[in-house]
Structure 1
């Protein structure tokens, strides 16, 4: 017989601003998946939506040229 699996503690609720960003990103990722004809939202959909929605995420890349390159890779991934 196996020992019981310990339960995980419940994480604290996210601040209101984070919850709004999360809802925005999830909605955009779902729309992108539907538009791409994908049955499920995947990491690429989420990353694309996050880069488009969150200025702090965009700032993590070194300039707009790199942002454009990453978004281009994500779009190519969904096409092929």
Structure 2
């Protein structure tokens, strides 16, 4: 919950070098979805069944997917 509280208070303005144009809190209040200018997005939310923080992305290229996943891990505090 600390991670989501931090994201609520200090949402990123850019992800992987591209501006965030919209931040959407999930209806279930268990995460956030960030949209970039090119339509790609990053979703960080708690699992509904396990004690896990999940990171999902959608982007136009495999390289953008990897960049967004790295940003998601960083934001979640779980960089590997």
Normalized per residue, the structure richer in strand is: 2
Task: Say which one has the larger Rg.
Answer: 1
Q: With structure 1 as the length reference, what TM-score do the two structures score?
A: 0.32
Normalized per residue, the structure richer in helix is: 1
